A and B are shown apart, each in its own frame.
Chain A
Amino acid sequence: MEPHAQKRLARIALLSGAVAGLACLGRLDLDRRISTNVLDLVPVDERSPELSLVRNLAGEEQARVLLLALSVPPRAGEPGGERGRRAERAAALLSRALAADPAIAQSMPLSDEGPRETLAAAIYARRLDLLLPGWLAQRESEFSRAAPGTPWSPWLAERSASLLEAYLSKPEALATQDILQADPLLLVPGLVARMNGLVGAGPSGGRPGDSALVWARTRDSPLAAQGQGPVFAAVDGALARARGAEPGTQLRWTGIARFAAASRARIEHEMATLNLLSLALVLAVLAVCVRRFYRAANLLPVVLGSLLGAWVATAAAWERVHVLVFVVGSLLAGVAVDYGFYLCLQPRRRPDERYLEKVSRLMRPLLASALTTVMGFSFLLWSELPLIRQLGVFVSAGLVCALVTALLWFAQVDDSYIETRDFVRRRPRESSALARRAARILLALGAAVALLGPWRLRWKDDIRELEIPTPELKSNDAEVRALFGETPGRTVYLTRGSTPADARRSLQAFLDWHRGRYPRVQVATLGYAMPTEDEWERLPGRLGALGGFELDLRGALERHGFDADAFEPFFRAWSGELRRRERPSYAELVGGLGAALQGPLASLLHVGRGLCWIASIAEQEPGADPPAVTDTMSDSQLQDLNLLFSRYRLSALRLSCVGLAFVGASVFVLYGLRRGARIFAIPAGACLFAFGLFGVMGVTLNLFHLLGAFLGVCLSHNYAIFSAESLGRSEEPPPSIRMSAVAAASSFGVLSLSRIPVVAALGSTVAITVLAALAITELAPLASGPARDGAPRQP
């Protein structure tokens, strides 16, 4: 093809690609498609129990809760307690202002007894349905163990009267005496005693001191924009109202919306900063390494074409893409520039060498490196994790586009050659014994690290590391939650089930486990107010066996000093229960209890389609995780999702290994066994060294170290191929290897500065792997000594 026609065609192709890509991006609603919700990083159909629970919690009303604590400045000579009362008045004002705002669905001062009274009334009114089945089962169990000579009904009556008499000596008897005539079996007082942890603290109350507490729920998800800005404005407006009545009112508040907004802002800032820094470093590498620096502008279209292709492919392939993909993927620039370096740092063999001739000479290593890397990353498409699949597409598409753009761009440039400075190309002609020994010692040390270090590796994944830590918000959150009673030294458990019956059955298994594991620690749960399905179904039969219980109980009460006639309200209810023919289903029974939960109490029990969970609070530091059979997760398990991500990590490891096996196999096919082994040894050795170094340093690794290693192996694989190709032609390794490695290490090194822990993990792994590969490429020829035939030394 004539050079003129070649240039025209290349320009048309480049322009068409750029216009098509930009048009495609312009048509996509990127605001909607790019997500900052960490839950978008895991599959929508993920069945992992802890994740379905977290997703449920995040999507349900619990995630929309705002906790607000107000305090007012003290006044001189103010009587004790008055400051607290003023704070309560300010809280009532703030709560009313919040409730009137369209962004807020519900708001109430925590001192509002309404939700607790509603729940108490619901339980009291249905105590024989909710509490009698469990009470009878417990007494029946005691009766079986005691095996007395007395028949069941008289024994039960005597036992009930004894318990009632003993109860009257307890301090709490004075608080419940009004209901005892209707509840001599102590169904409700028994529940109250066991629910103490929920009543006195936790979701339903706290010890605010001079603060007044307000609970509110937003209308929209805190992870959406409308659940953030409008909510913040509503809080500001409500605070202004409170300050109007009580000047100087201070507000501390927390909610997922604050974390989500801060995370989004920080990630956006991080994206801009890291990309600029990365670009600056690549430019700095170019400025230092090449003559006529301005000619390096030819590399820019290659990087831009690569990123454009990657964005289009990823955004078009998924409805929702997490912003982390773009943060990590944007560093594709460091990889994409490789092909540009390789093409433009190679001089023409002769002044009249045509571009197509030059390209055909370089095409084999270019294709070999690009396609093997693309093939390796394509295996990530089989990952369970959307983030990994998206990264796989982003990098693969980006690399293909980088190669195509590089080939087209340099096809329409008259002279693309960029001359490197001498020091970039300089290689020792003869290695001295000292240099040889030093190189061997360094390689031996590296090998020792690579072989021994990995045995010291520890792995742990924590979903929280996907976000930028916000210590000030966390500290504020802990302080506010402490005011609401969520103090350290307590563990919250969530027991799940697909139906209320499943959840309650699992709760029983959890309570049994907890009693055995922590015998002195009390667990408070609303689950105590729910019979098990078995207890509920056996209730009619058990009542049928107690036809004479009323008479027996009257006698026992009299014997214990009670006026049996005073318990007429109970006996009427008991008779009604014996005559009852129809009862609600178990699901209706629990659903009714769930419907009585208002405001902050809604976090005690969730009855939904396909997923129910029951919260429990134990007065103990987080410790042993409940066994899987209990279907119960502690809050710490739910916060880090380590188990789930460990599974994903193993899956990613398998895919990476398969991908690397194919990359290795393709190298062996292309270059034969001996050269292929030498080529493959460089990325494999560099990767092992990186892991070994992490092991020696005691770093705990996660899924992203693994992904970084994979990326690092693919990059260093490029250098090994380029180097082997040159050596095969008895040429010095091209200077592009050094420049590519330094550029890649710089741009990924920038990532290691990220405040997002997983991004830093990925960046540091790639940077170390790439530098290690460069070191092997440089040191191996030195260590092997002078070549016998004067040809360049084989690495």
Chain B
Amino acid sequence: MNSARSVALALALAARALGADPGGALLEPGPAEAQWRPLIDAMAAKGAIVAPFTERRFFPFRREPMVLSGVLRVSPDRGLSLEYTQPEESIVIADSAGLLLRDGEGRTRAMPSGSRGPGAVASLLPIMRFDLAALYPRFAIRAYGTRAAWRLEFAPKDPEAARALGAITVAGAGENVVHLEFKHSSSQRVEIDVGDARTGATLSAADLARFFR
């Protein structure tokens, strides 16, 4: 992550911590989203994205988080793909057909989409597409900060989904997503730092075949 993005992230998190904008703006269809609509439209129109990421998984029975890293890919047509490269290779694909796991040897298997972990990944797809029409029925969305350093919080409306997924936070700087968090409790959460994104990237046919369904 470059320094400017780190600063933006730090500002966003600090703003949250200091309660500079305690309520945030509740996004809803209509005038309520007007302030955020240009930013969201800009992010939704970015097309394909390729970015490195670092994921930290916090478990209540483990003193330190598990750290994983890899490359995140978003294809407007094919969905979202998380390519884990460390500590072991695997690919998680979230698309309109559900979730798919592909191991290092290329074996694939579908995953139940209702459960917590995969469910979180599945919810990433409309979030990374900033598809508000798809998100409004499922989440109460609050926006914090400014265009330079912003944060969106997604609270599942369905109590069962809320119990399974917890709260989802997406933080960014300008038109870039820099941080994602799935928080079930303070000791049970997943944080993803998104590195420099190549927006408008072209995904080759080989990439599409390898990293998507």
Binds B, one of A175-183, A291-299, A458-466, A537-545: A175-183
Contact (Cβ within 8 A) B137 A566: no
- Whether A561 and B111, one on each chain, are in contact in the complex, defined by CB atoms closer than 8 angstroms, is no
Q: A79-B133, A171-B111, A174-B57 are in contact. Are A561 and B64 (CB under 8 A)?
A: yes
List B residues 74-103 near A (Cβ within 8 Å). Answer: 82, 84, 87-88, 90, 92, 97-98, 101
Establish whether residues B109 and A200, one from each chain, have CB atoms under 8 Å apart when the complex forms.
yes
**Which residue in chain B gives the minimum CB-CB distance to A181?**
B61
Contact between A174 and B118, CB atoms less than 8 A apart: yes
Interface residues of A in 629-657 (CB under 8 A from B): none
- A584 → B minimal CB distance (Å): 30
Alpha-carbon separation in the docked complex, A114 to B87 (Å): 36
Cβ of A169 within 8 Å of any chain B Cβ, yes or no, is yes
Closest chain B residue to A560, Cβ basis = B62
* Cβ A79 vs Cβ B111 within 8 A: no
* CB-contact partner of A562 in B62, B98, B110, under 8 A: B62
Inter-chain contact A175/B112, CB cutoff 8 Å: yes
Of A171, A196, A201, the residue contacting B90 (CB under 8 A) is A171
Contact of B63 among A80, A169, A176, A561 (CB under 8 A): A561
Interface pair A171/B117, CB less than 8 Å apart: yes
User: Shortest beta-carbon distance, A527 to chain B, in Å?
Assistant: 18
The 5 closest A-B pairs by CB, nearest first: A174-B117, A200-B110, A566-B61, A175-B117, A175-B115
Residue B68 CB within 8 A of the other chain: yes
Among A154-184, those with CB < 8 Å from B are 166, 168-178, 180-181
- The reply on A135 being an interface residue by CB < 8 A is no
State A583–B137 Cα separation when bound (angstroms): 50
**Complex partner residue of A168 from B59, B98, B109, CB under 8 angstroms:** B59
Name 10 extra pairs, CB < 8 A, besides A170-B88, A172-B101: A168-B62, A175-B111, A181-B60, A196-B110, A197-B109, A207-B98, A520-B107, A562-B62, A563-B63, A566-B61
Do A169 and B66 touch across chains, with their CB atoms under 8 A apart?
yes
Q: List 16 A-B contacts (CB under 8 A).
A: A80-B134, A169-B66, A169-B84, A169-B88, A171-B121, A172-B101, A172-B111, A172-B117, A175-B118, A177-B116, A177-B188, A196-B110, A200-B109, A520-B105, A522-B107, A561-B64
- Is B120 an interface residue, CB under 8 A from the partner? yes
Interface string of A65-106 (1 = CB under 8 A from B): 000000000000001110000000000000000000000000
What class of interface size applies to chain A in its complex with B?
20 to 34
Bound form: Cα–Cα A168–B87 in Å = 10
Report B113 CB to chain A, min CB distance, Å: 10
Whether the Cβ atoms of A172 and B62 lie closer than 8 Å is: no
B114: Cβ under 8 A from any A Cβ: yes
In the complex, chain A residues whose CB is within 8 Å of the CB of B112: 175, 199-200
The residue among A166, A200, A201, A561 with the most chain B CB atoms within 10 A of its own CB is A200
Within A759-783, the residues touching B (CB, 8 Å) are: none
- Give the CA-CA distance A389 to B66 in the complex, in Å: 72
Taking the complex as formed, is B12 at the interface, i.e. its CB lies under 8 A from any CB of chain A?
A: no
Chief secondary structure at chain B's binding surface: mixed
Q: How far is the CB of B131 from chain A (nearest CB, A)?
A: 8
CB of B48 within 8 Å of the partner chain: no
CB-based nearest A residue for B117? A174
| Residues of chain B with a CB closer than 8 A to A207's CB | 97-98
Closest B residue to A524 by beta carbon equals B109
Residues in B whose Cβ lies below 8 Å from that of A199? 110, 112
* B64 to A, closest residue via Cβ: A561
Residue of B nearest to A80 (CB): B134
Chain B contacts of A168 at CB under 8 A? Answer: 57, 59, 62, 66
In the complex, which residues 721-759 of chain A have their Cβ closer than 8 Å to any Cβ of chain B? none
Instruction: Indicate whether A586 reaches chain B with its CB closer than 8 angstroms.
Output: no
What are the residues of chain A within 8 A of B134 when measuring CB–CB? 79-81
Q: Mark B129-140, 1 if CB is under 8 A from A, else 0.
A: 000011001000
Q: Does B143 contact A (CB under 8 A)?
A: no
List B contacts of A563 (CB < 8 A): 61-63
Establish whether residues B87 and A169, one from each chain, have CB atoms under 8 Å apart when the complex forms.
Answer: yes
B190 interface residue, CB < 8 Å from A? yes
In the complex, what residues of B have CB within 8 A of residue A170's CB? 88, 90
In the assembled complex, A353 has its CB within 8 A of some CB on chain B: no
Q: Which residues of A contact B (CB under 8 A)?
A: 79-81, 113, 166, 168-178, 180-181, 196-197, 199-201, 207, 520, 522, 561-563, 566-567
Q: Which of A169, A171, A199, A200 gathers the greatest number of chain B CB atoms within 10 Å?
A: A171
CA distance A113 to B59 in the complex (A): 27
- Docked Cα-Cα span, A659 to B98, in Å, equals 64
Residues of B contacting A181 with CB < 8 Å?
Answer: 60-61
CA distance A563 to B87 in the complex (A): 21
Q: Are B92 and A171 in contact (CB under 8 A)?
A: yes
**Docked-complex contact A177 and B59, CB < 8 angstroms:** yes
> Which A-chain residue is minimally distant from B106 (CB atoms)?
A520
Q: Which of B158-210 contact A (CB under 8 A)?
A: 188, 190
Residues of A close to B59: CB separation below 8 A: 168, 177, 180
What residues of B have a CB within 8 angstroms of the CB of A562 in the complex? Answer: 61-63
By the criterion CB–CB under 8 Å, are B62 and A79 in contact?
Answer: no
A177-B117, A522-B107 given; A171·B101 CB < 8 A: yes
Determine the distance from Cα of A173 to Cα of B59 in the docked complex, in whole angstroms: 10
The CA of A755 and the CA of B6, in the complex, are separated in Å by: 75
Question: CB distance B120 to A174 under 8 Å?
Answer: yes
Which residues of A are found within 8 Å of B121, using beta-carbon distances?
171
Residue of B nearest to A565 (CB): B61
* Chain A residues with CB below 8 A from B92, complex form: 171
Interface pair B61/A80, CB less than 8 Å apart: no
Q: Which residues of B contact A79 (CB under 8 A)?
A: 133-134, 137
Contacts of B115 in A (CB 8 A): 175
Shortest CB distance B126–A (Å): 9
CA distance A561 to B62 in the complex (A): 6
Query: Given B63, B87, B98, B118, which contacts A171 in the complex, CB threshold below 8 Å?
Result: B118
Per-position 1/0 for B41-81, Cβ under 8 A of A: 00000000000000001011111101010000000000000
CB neighbours of B190 from chain A (8 A): 174
Which residues of A lie under 8 Å from residue B101 when comparing CB positions?
171-172
How many angstroms between the C-alpha atoms of A491 and B84 in the bound complex? 31
Residues of A within 8 A of B68 (CB): 169
* Residues of the B chain whose Cβ atoms lie less than 8 Å from the Cβ of A171: 82, 84, 90, 92, 101, 111, 117-118, 121
Q: Which residues of A contact B97 (CB under 8 A)?
A: 207
- CB–CB A175/B116 < 8 A: yes
Distance in angstroms from A564 CB to nearest chain B CB is 9
Asked, given contacts A80-B133, A174-B116, A174-B117, whether A566 binds B60 with beta carbons under 8 Å apart, the answer is yes
Can you name the residue of chain B whose Cβ is closest to the Cβ of A193?
Answer: B109
Q: How far is the CB of B59 from chain A (nearest CB, A)?
A: 6
Interface centre among B57, B62, B116, B120 (most CB of A within 10 A): B62
